[in-house]
Amino acid sequence: MLVEPARLAAALGLPPATAVDAEPLAMLPGSPERVTLCPPGAASRAVVVRRDPDAEAAANHAAVLEALTNRRFSFAPRLLAIVDGAAVEECVEGLTALAVVPPLAALEAAVDAIAALHALPLREGLRWELAPSEMLPSSYPLHRLGFAAHEREAAAAAIAAAREALLAGPFGFCHGCLTADRVLFTDAGPRLVGFEAAGHGPQLFDLAAFLVTAGMPPPGREALARRYAANRGLDTGHIAALAGLAEILWGVEHQLGLPRRQVEVLGDDVASEALRLASARVEAALRAPSGGHPAAEAIRAALWPA
């Protein structure tokens, strides 16, 4: 177990004789656990215990989830306790867009949740000391993705234009790693989980990460980006175009980090398959960005000529 059973029971106000049973939610060491607690003579209850093997990530998740719980943010699990650096969360049962094909209404609700997260006047988490210009690279090692020199050179100006356009987009509190596996579709609505990378950042990267890895086609991604903008009172056409640029720059970053993540999930077949599916969806989105921004079209034409 990630935490000692007696300490977990005590943190939740349960008697020492409480029986505790932990079930890992993935196969890798340090994976979150679904823990069932059975106090003598009382109904059992389930919680999720989460502690990233990286101590800074674990502390960030706990701090951000505590801030969201204090603000009664309904689209994230409530933090119940912190035990030995592990976050003890309410257990929410749900599936992700990597496991099922969600109906449009569920995807719309998830986008509403993302917009609500970004609208919070919250200064918590990582990267608040960085300016936006320090968060978006000025160039990418595209040779690592197999692009030849003439392709990289043809795309360079458009990538620089995309970066400048996104620097003028919305920055603020964000999840930081909002791929489809971090959004649970539950009977009570969407729940965002896993806030290890949360903090200051380009908010449209959250939107792009979710929509792309959820497998939405370009018209669907554009429509949901417009919904996000409307929820936040932003110009819908402008944000939809910027979201298409975010798909490209976030997608390139995702694919560049793919080999490392593949090594990290070795031994967990479910996690490996989820990563394979997400990366395939990212590749498809890079070839067909949404939003119609000229820079997005120029990047696509340079890197994937018809």
Cα distances (Å, whole numbers) of residue 264 to 101, 192, 267, 274: 26, 22, 9, 13
Same structural domain for residues 81 and 120?
Answer: no
Residue 24 lies in a domain: yes
Of 39, 57, 90, the position where a domain reaches its end is 90
Range of the domain at 149: 104-303
Q: For position 67, what pLDDT does the model report?
A: 98
As a whole number of angstroms, the distance between CA 208 and CA 193 comes to: 17
The pTM is what?
A: 0.96
With a cut of 90, say whether residue 126 has pLDDT above it.
yes
- Total domains in the chain come to 2
Residue 135 lies in a domain: yes
Give the angle 304-285-142 at the CA atoms, nearest 5°. Answer: 50
Residue-wise pLDDT for 13-24, tens only, equals 999 999 999 999
Q: What is the CATH number of the domain that holds 80?
A: 3.30.200
With a cut of 90, say whether residue 205 has pLDDT above it.
yes
Same structural domain for residues 29 and 168?
Answer: no
Residue-wise pLDDT for 267-305, tens only, equals 899 999 999 999 999 999 999 999 999 999 999 999 998
Same structural domain for residues 45 and 109?
Answer: no
* Dihedral angle of Cα 266, 268, 269, 273, to the nearest 10 degrees: -80
Same structural domain for residues 110 and 218?
Answer: yes
Q: For position 70, what pLDDT does the model report?
A: 98
Same structural domain for residues 9 and 137?
Answer: no
Of 66, 90, 114, the position where a domain reaches its end is 90
Same structural domain for residues 76 and 203?
Answer: no
Same structural domain for residues 83 and 122?
Answer: no
Where does 14-121 have alpha helices with state H? 55-70, 104-118
CA 96 to chain centre: 12
Helix (H) or strand (E) holding 235: none
Residue 85 lies in a domain: yes
Q: What is the CATH number of the domain that holds 187?
A: 3.90.1200.10
On whether the CB atoms of residues 221 and 290 are closer than 8 A, the answer is yes
With a cut of 80, say whether residue 58 has pLDDT above it.
yes
Of 68, 90, 112, the position where a domain reaches its end is 90
Kindly state the tokens that stand for 210.
């979710």
Residue-wise pLDDT for 67-78, tens only, equals 999 999 999 999
Same structural domain for residues 121 and 38?
Answer: no
Q: For position 29, what pLDDT does the model report?
A: 85
Same structural domain for residues 295 and 173?
Answer: yes
Residue 128: CB atoms within 10 Å: 11
Same structural domain for residues 134 and 251?
Answer: yes
Residue 96 lies in a domain: no
